[in-house]
Amino acid sequence: MKQVISGPLGSGKTSALKEKYRHLIAGGVKSDNILVMVRSSLDEDKWRKTLKIPVSGTLHIHTYFGLVQNQLTKFWPLVESKLPGTSKLLQPVFMTVEASHYLISTMVEEVRHSGGFAEVKSTTENIAIQLIDNLNQAAVNGISLPAAAKRLHMLAVSSGGEEKTAAYLDAITVMKQFREKCLQTRSIDYSLAVELFNGILMSDCRFLKYLKEQWRYIIVDDIEEMVPTAQDLILYLLNDAAGAYMGYDPEGGHTVFFGAYPEGVRQKILPRCEIKELKPAGGEQTRELAANLVRVITGKAREMTGSPALKGQIVTVLRGEMLEKVVGQVERLIASGTKPKEIAVIAPVVDKVLEFSLHNKLAEREIGIANLSRSKRLLDQPFANAMITLAVLANPDWKTEINFSSLVQTLCLLLKTDPVRASLLAEETFKNDLKLPDLDELNLREQVGYRYAEHYQELRQWVERRRQDKPDLELLFQQAFAELLSPLLPGEEDLLACRQMIDSAVKLRRVLSCYNDAPLGHNFIDMIQKGTLAAEVLYRPPAHRNKVILTSPLNFILNPYIERVKYQFWLDIGGNQWMRGMAKELANPWVLSRRWTGHQVWDDGVDQNIRRQKLGILVRALLGKCSEGIFVAYSEINSQGWEQNGLLVDVFDSVQQGREAGD
């Protein structure tokens, strides 16, 4: 049987697919013959934790890229034999995001030094990210690099002048240089891995024979979020599979920015399968509100009538006032019997200021809040920050700067002292060219305190030994953790941050070992400080227990560990971040997709239409995980002092709701 289980968010598709898996195992099918494809590493993690079947073999549960890596490694001799050059490796070296970003950044910087990217406003780091996006989008859409370069050149010519065309030509040059370097060194980034899988393995009769014999059954969750080349693989497996079960959300397509292609599912996969429709449980009023909102957002209706699912509209002049009113309404909901974990505060950007403000205001009312956004930098975690700071202190020849507050935080942590004493020590360290000073020479022992001075002296000696021994970065991190940080009895989050730091350094070293002129230490620290470290290396879902949830819209929708809630607060609806566009200075996923015909012109009209469509999909999904209703909130002036007048303000202003939150 080839079946698509169709239904909106929260209708039970994933549970149904897991039940299909259990049924296959109970019927005697070996797990070795069942391939499960999921959208993200988080989904993979939850599948493995919740499947609960008797031990019957290996669980083949993969993201598309995880499967690609797995098969390239398994069939590497076959792939290697088809690659140009004389370099031969027993196994490929797969790049992490940070390694790709670092290498492309160096290439971009070289072009800039020679006068390239002259009119591009983005930083070198942002240009590198955009070029990685171009390479990845082309690969997952099955578009060769030469064809992608042609499309980008056409885009530049049609939508800009000579300066923009020159910038795109510089971008194409860097992309080609990066690809050539990857092939020469056999260090495989995401885009090259996808190209090798589809260009070599999927055209080899031996590999295709293996696929048919190995994967007799396929299960795909969130198929509408799969990239086109993943759908190509699924279509191939459908030809000979003994059974196939796929979860499909007709209202999905949230990851189009990353290559999702729901149109391909509708055009090629649905016609070949039996459709089983599921209906969501409850939430009729929120679904009705969602349908009305979508009609207004997409221009199919001018206004909408009031809805009982719209619980309140909070409008203030300043953002601080808005947050105060939101917190007051949260407090009233909890006082009326709602559990904190049944409330989600959703903002397009969850920054440290927002988290700090909400945390403090709710703490005054003895209400906890958990930031489930995944946008935190690793450097913001105290133990990770300490490892970076110690590495800089131990390597003066790097000439690397560190933030004053980072050094204060590290001294507070390691010496178990207060910020005043730590600031004093940090000031003297900066005066001493980042060499920890001798307390007795400065007559500071009494000011620091004798108890803290002893700990400081031990730290100073530890750093001096590392300056003399010059251990490589991996060893230095391991020594810092074992000798200085682990005695502080770190918690689970601290341990995770330290593991992630060491793990990332190891992965980057493997790639940079292919480039003899690229030392690990200084480059790794520079990359961390610029915030380019991949956030998902060792990500674990946070435990939020019975706390109010704080997160971004997309994370609330796609994170499998965030359950349905009763109430949502949509913050900053006047901000344009709710309607982010696809196009950037040097990247455009729409042009590098299968949607583009080659005759279409990218202009403001196309851009605005896509923004509205994406916003409609977003609000429908948010309300799909909400049973009682929403509160919307915005301030006329945002935290930077700018007026806010986004589309959602106009949409909700059209609602004749007749009451405001807190009245």
Contact 380, 493 (CB under 8 A): no
Q: Which residues pair with 630 in a beta bridge?
A: 310, 568
Give residue 377's pLDDT: 67
With a cut of 50, which residues of the chain have pLDDT below it? 534-538, 657-663
- Kindly write down the DSSP assignment for every residue of 572-628, as one continuous string: -TTSGGGG--S--SS--TTTTSTT--SS----HHHHHHHHHHHHHHHHHHHHHTEEE
Separation of alpha carbons 435 and 429, rounded Å: 6
Separation of alpha carbons 31 and 555, rounded Å: 31
Contact 232, 201 (CB under 8 A): no
Separation of alpha carbons 170 and 391, rounded Å: 35
HSE value, Cβ hemisphere, 13 Å, CA-based, for 107: 24
Separation of alpha carbons 462 and 479, rounded Å: 10
- In this prediction the pTM is 0.87
What amino acid is encoded at 391 in this protein?
Answer: A
**How would you classify the pairing of strands 343-346 and 565-570?**
parallel
Element (H, E) at 347: none
Separation of alpha carbons 382 and 387, rounded Å: 9
Separation of alpha carbons 523 and 509, rounded Å: 10
Give residue 400's pLDDT: 87
Give residue 658's pLDDT: 35
Separation of alpha carbons 550 and 89, rounded Å: 46
Q: Coil, helix or strand for 414?
A: helix
Q: Which residues pair with 409 in a beta bridge?
A: none
Q: Coil, helix or strand for 63?
A: strand
How big is the CA angle at 494 (ends 530 and 479), to the nearest 5 degrees?
Answer: 80
What amino acid is encoded at 366 in this protein?
Answer: E
Separation of alpha carbons 182 and 432, rounded Å: 42
- Cβ-based burial of 420 (10 A; exposed 0-12, middle 13-18, buried ≥19): exposed
HSE value, Cβ hemisphere, 13 Å, CA-based, for 263: 7
Give residue 663's pLDDT: 41
The alpha carbons of the chain give a radius of gyration, in whole angstroms, of 27
